[in-house]
A and B are shown apart, each in its own frame.
Chain A
């Protein structure tokens, strides 16, 4: 099968998977317990890397832009610059890229291992629908947890920027905070939440699809894991461009 046909086939398969999830999401049985467990594992479990990513991104952003702003005599807008960059762009993208690496790969590896060890077939033979039992809870968990983690990333990033501004630029905290507050408008926040919701969905659906289409035993599991990270990361960056254009023209 050549590359184009394989690409079209994969798009078709992913669309079918989305359709099956959408069709079953409002029909019983609902696996609430499993969904909450996934929220804990995928969301809360990623908190540490998101905190570290957010903090250092905000700090380095403040550090790098501080000198340039000083040259133009507008160092008092450092807070606004850091907060806007984080809310609009860096928070959603970096949070979700980290999630794609940590969570998307985990989903693909887990489902892939279950597939090659016939656990998915066993599940079906015992009367459970793997889409409802495995895919839907992961999608719901990531669609809800990715925006929550992004908000945390934005907050911690802004604080990281504050610390860098105080420590290295000698800026007063009140100036930085007042400037940062100006960046936080409802439309900015809304725009900043749309992105991680879409990205969370992308990470979950790609991870599940790659896991459930694993072939070739344990080697195949490794391949699916790598592919899920690569595909999800590329899609996040590409969709980010489209969403940014849409949000800029509609909300900002």
Chain B
């Protein structure tokens, strides 16, 4: 039976590469409009979760549901359909080197054989959203790390997917650029009601995602507000992975109050 209330659902998913267990019976859900922030050290299976959700690799056991559909046994052709619902932001942007920024963002629409007259407004709107309208004609090697990630976000947003997967989009960036990336994620969460999995190990990202939200006033102006008396954020939840297992799942307050030694060490080291 399909569950139409969850954008993403992992049911007892396990995966091993040769003898190395990467995920061991992982289960969690991402509701519509919810952001799930996945944390953990290197090699704990964070990026693998995203690749599984996108159907790029298959689990050894368990089930993965996207928008209520069990994609575990799907063929590559069936997965193509599912991937139309998902946008993925890769760690280093994963832009196509031989294509300009414009062509990178237009890639999905060109694959769908859309007409050029339909493609241009969509691409420019997406580039405007990430504030890179002027970089449309540049090649990826002319962009800074932060710009590459923003182009990656613009490319992932084409087709208005209701699910976005972020694979450490702020890794290796300076705090200001990382903040810009997080703000884009907040805008998508709060204004577009996009469901997402945000993989990170940076505490600064967690601070922004857990405590800020975006509001649009009557004139269309956007402002970033702090969680407090006016509003308590319930659309962002956290998961901590360790050795392929989920050792914590809950809100940021619960995580900060956790006495688990690994979580304490993780939070204190990152601070």
- A interface with B by C-beta (< 8 Å): 29, 113-114, 117-119, 121-129
Contact = CB atoms under 8 A, between A and B. Distances in A.
A127 B94 contact: no
B266 to A, nearest CB: 25
Contacts of B54: 121, 124-125
Interface string B94-118: 1111000000000110011100000
Contact of B51 (A29, A117, A121): A121
Contact of A122 (B76, B80, B88): B88
* A29, A114, A121, A125: most-surrounded residue (chain B CB, <10 A): A125
B107 A126 contact: yes
Contacts of A119: 94-97
Given A118-B91, A118-B94, A119-B97, A125 B86 contact: yes
Contacts of A113: 97
Contact of A125 (B76, B88, B96, B113): B88
B29 interface: no
B94 A117 contact: yes
Contacts of B80: 127, 129
B96 A127 contact: no
B5 to A, nearest CB: 25
B91 A127 contact: no
Nearest to A27: B77
Contacts of B56: 121, 124-125
B67 to A, nearest CB: 16
B97 A127 contact: no
Contacts of A128: 107, 111
Given A124-B54, A126-B111, A128-B111, 18 more contacts: A113-B97, A117-B94, A117-B97, A118-B90, A121-B51, A121-B94, A122-B88, A122-B90, A122-B95, A123-B96, A124-B56, A125-B86, A125-B87, A126-B108, A127-B83, A127-B84, A127-B111, A128-B107
Contacts of A121: 51, 54, 56, 88, 90, 94
